[in-house]
Amino acid sequence: MSQPYTLHTAATPNGRKISIMLEELDVPYEVRVVSFKEAEQKQPDYVRLNPNGRIPTLVDHEGGDFAIFESGAILLYLAEKHGRFMPSDARGKSLVTQWLMFQMAGVGPMQGQAGVFYRYAEEKIPFAIHRYQNETKRLYGVLDRRLGAVDYLAGDYSIADMATYPWVVGHDWVGVSIDGLDNLAAWLARVGERAAVQRGMKVPAEVSDGSRVDTARSLLQR
């Protein structure tokens, strides 16, 4: 029997947001690894699911195939559908959405660019490296101040935390220290202790030959 969801993903923070959410919901799903090496995200069959040609994409098979692209939109869809990790009142929803958008518009793009210029650019441009590292650190400071007042970004654990954790946990990779950001460090530890987060961060499973993998959640480490 096919799984109710298919997650098209890769080993990136945006992909891991969704595997964490699916693990938190404890729902079965199929994983399809999108090979960047083979540019599978640009192939016509995939672009029909995700017009932007990026990962992740989630396909909900219940009641007919329905594809959702953009990681924040996927989190919102799953939270609404399952009635979890998103408050039901307007202000509670707004608070979660505010911090989700903070990650989508701030932490993700800035830390992503920090990684590009720090790790991947053939020409190392100090101005660009420092610009994006410094902005990432500034955004971390916003998170740290918020987490001095609450345990989780919207008060209770929510999709805002799931969206932000996979990015911030990789701070060393982009050369950004969290020294002195004790509230942020404590939040990383708190979120990282969750069993579902640990499982979700392992999706997709390692593939030694770089080939496409089609596997059910039951085959992953749990």
| Closest residue by Cα to residue 1 from 19, 28, 23 | 28
* Same structural domain, 104 and 69: no
Q: What is the pLDDT of residue 3?
A: 86
| Closest to 136 measured CA to CA, from 103, 162, 180 | 103
DSSP bridge pairs for 99: none
Closest to 59 (Cα-Cα) out of 83, 80, 77, 79: 77
Residue 219 scores a pLDDT above 60? no
pTM reported for the whole predicted model: 0.91
Report residue 55 as tokens: 């990962």
Confidence of residue 94 (pLDDT cuts 50, 70, 90): very high
Claim to verify: residue 147 and residue 164 sit in the same structural domain: yes
Question: Mean pLDDT, to the nearest integer, of 209-218?
Answer: 35
CATH number at residue 129: 1.20.1050.10
209 and 152 within one domain: no
**186 and 141 together in one domain:** yes
Q: Quote the number of domains for the chain.
A: 2
Query: Domain of 38: which CATH number?
Result: 3.40.30.10
Segments forming the whole domain that contains residue 169: 90-194
Q: Does 220 score more than 90 pLDDT? A: no
Whether residues 103 and 132 share a domain: the answer is yes
- Note whether 189 and 98 are same-domain residues: yes
**Is 33 in the same domain as 76?**
yes
Average pLDDT over residues 120-146: 97
Residue 1 has pLDDT above 90, yes or no: no
Count of beta carbons in the 10 Å neighbourhood of residue 205: 13
Q: How far apart, in whole angstroms, are the C-alpha atoms of residue 149 and residue 14?
A: 26
Of the listed ranges 31-45, 96-110, 199-213, the one predicted with least confidence: 199-213
Q: How many angstroms separate the CA atoms of 19 and 196, rounded?
A: 9
Same domain, 104 and 55: no
Cα–Cα distance, 175 to 100 (Å, whole number): 23
With 0-12 / 13-18 / 19 or more C-beta atoms within 10 angstroms meaning exposed / middle / buried, residue 89 is: exposed
Both tokens of 17, joined, read 């947001």
Which residues 6+ apart lie within 8 Å of 120 measured at CB? Answer: none
- With a CB cutoff of 8 Å and minimum separation 6, the contacts of 145 are 183
DSSP assignment of the chain equals: ---SEEEEE-SSHHHHHHHHHHHHHT--EEEEE--TTTTGGGSHHHHTT-TT--S-EEEE-TTS-EEEESHHHHHHHHHHHHT-SS-SSHHHHHHHHHHHHHIIIIIHHHHHHHHIIIII-SS--HHHHHHHHHHHHHHHHHHHHHHTT-SBTBBB--HHHHHHHHHHTTGGGGT---TT-HHHHHHHHHHHT-HHHHHHTTPSPP-TT----EEEGGGS--
Do 171 and 142 fall within a single domain?
Answer: yes
* Domain shared by 187 and 203, yes or no: no
Q: Mean pLDDT throughout 84-106? A: 98
* 150 backbone dihedrals φ, ψ, rounded to 5°: -140, 160
21 in the same domain as 105: no
Claim to verify: residue 74 and residue 95 sit in the same structural domain? no
